[in-house]
Amino acid sequence: MDAPHTGFVADSLDRRIISALQIDGRASWHRVATALGEPERTVARRGTRLLDSGLVRIGAMAVRGRSTVVGVRCAPGRARVVATALARRPDCVFAHVLTGTWDCVAEVQCPRDRLAGLVMDELPGLPGVVRTLTLPVLRHVRTIREWHAGLLTAAEIAALTDGTPATTGPADPLPTFDGPGELPRPDRLLVNALAEDGRCTYDELARVCGVSEATARRRLGALRREGRVRVRAVIEPLLLGLPVEAVLWVRAVPAAVDTVTSALAESPHVRYVSFVTGERQLLVLTAFPDEAALHEFVTRSSWLRETASVDVSLVLGSLKRGGMLAPWLRG
């Protein structure tokens, strides 16, 4: 599997700019510079370089239904093919190739009335699939859009979130929609434009959608508040000095699930936590500077006292993150 980016070393300021864009991918360079206490010209130059290089991508994704995590065991030599097929689904949020029991893991947005078709027809019909595991998400605790690796202070985060501090513990349940909820044509055009460039200006959005700039601004704001559209900064954790990614399948003592999820959500190494159906209630996506740090996390963390088991799978490659295909799959 191709390496996403090599030869680029992000320094501390680059990483802080990236973290700011993870909080608000559409924040102006002036707002980012003010929040970080850095010269605007420096922030604009560094940020523009990151975006132009493709190391950081800002995109939007329409919410198409409730989330379901899919695990797939593949025939020998077919993991790349199956993961690519999953990643190319327009309703796929992320797709990773793993070590361990399951060769691939993905999250898809599937209205509950279509779940039976996904389980019985669509997934088994993928060439190379030997066995599947489907885990409807009952509650998102943290998604990638809430993760910024602990590189910013509470004051800096507040400055990037209109003065409302981002939570570090379990978030309120994210908005979900059972039906496809077809958007009006101007809104679909708006989302499609943002999917290609999440930082395009309101003037550009207005011209694409055939509406006024004020209308484009108002419609995007409403869609984001309603949870119908999510604007995300998509990066490789390697860029933040966290090259070792792992998926944890955590089985917590039922009475202690909230305690475990709160502890997990406080860790800067935890990028994603969802409460799912099945034998192991928590799916956790993590990133670490090295394997020793991963080992420490899964053997000595305080939350382990309330868990019955933790299965660890290393991420071998990512074909989709935040609804955006890996660069080598685009085209």
Average pLDDT over residues 107-119: 92
Whether 67 is in a domain gets the answer: no
- 190-208 pLDDT, tens digit per residue, is 988 998 889 999 999 999 9
pLDDT at position 7, please?
A: 58
Closest Cα to residue 329, out of 88, 106, 118, 89? 88
Produce one character per residue of 110-143: b if its CB has 16 or more CB atoms within 10 Å, e if not: bbeebbeebbeeebeebebbeebbbbbbebbbbb
Mean pLDDT of the chain, nearest integer: 88
Q: Is the per-residue pLDDT at 135 higher than 80? A: yes
Least confident of 39-48, 148-157, 283-292: 148-157
Q: In terms of residue numbers, what domain contains 165?
A: 12-58+145-173
Whether 194 is in a domain gets the answer: yes
Least confident of 64-68, 81-85, 116-120, 302-306: 64-68
Whether 199 is in a domain gets the answer: yes
Whether 260 is in a domain gets the answer: no
Whether 273 is in a domain gets the answer: no
Give the number of domains in the chain.
Answer: 2
Question: Binning pLDDT at 50, 70 and 90, where does residue 8 land?
Answer: low
Contacts 24+ apart (CB under 8 A), 224-228: 226/175, 227/63, 227/174, 227/175, 227/176, 228/62, 228/63, 228/175, 228/177, 228/181, 228/183
49 and 190 together in one domain: no
pTM listed for this prediction:
0.84
- Decide: 271 and 286 in contact? Cβ < 8 Å: yes
pLDDT at position 48, please?
A: 94
Average pLDDT over residues 236-252: 94
Whether 190 is in a domain gets the answer: yes
Q: Is the per-residue pLDDT at 1 higher than 80? A: no
Residue with the larger pLDDT of the pair 168 and 111: 111
Q: Is the per-residue pLDDT at 248 higher than 80? A: yes
Question: Binning pLDDT at 50, 70 and 90, where does residue 331 land?
Answer: low
- 33-89 pLDDT, tens digit per residue, is 999 999 999 999 999 999 988 889 998 887 777 899 999 999 999 999 999 999 999
201 and 165 together in one domain: no
pLDDT at position 165, please?
A: 38
Closest Cα to residue 282, out of 255, 316, 307, 299? 307
Q: Is the per-residue pLDDT at 163 higher than 80? A: no
Whether 107 is in a domain gets the answer: no
CA–CA separation, 30 and 324 (whole Å): 26
Query: Rg of the chain over CA atoms, in angstroms?
Result: 20
Whether 31 is in a domain gets the answer: yes
Here the CATH number for the domain that contains residue 204 is: 1.10.10
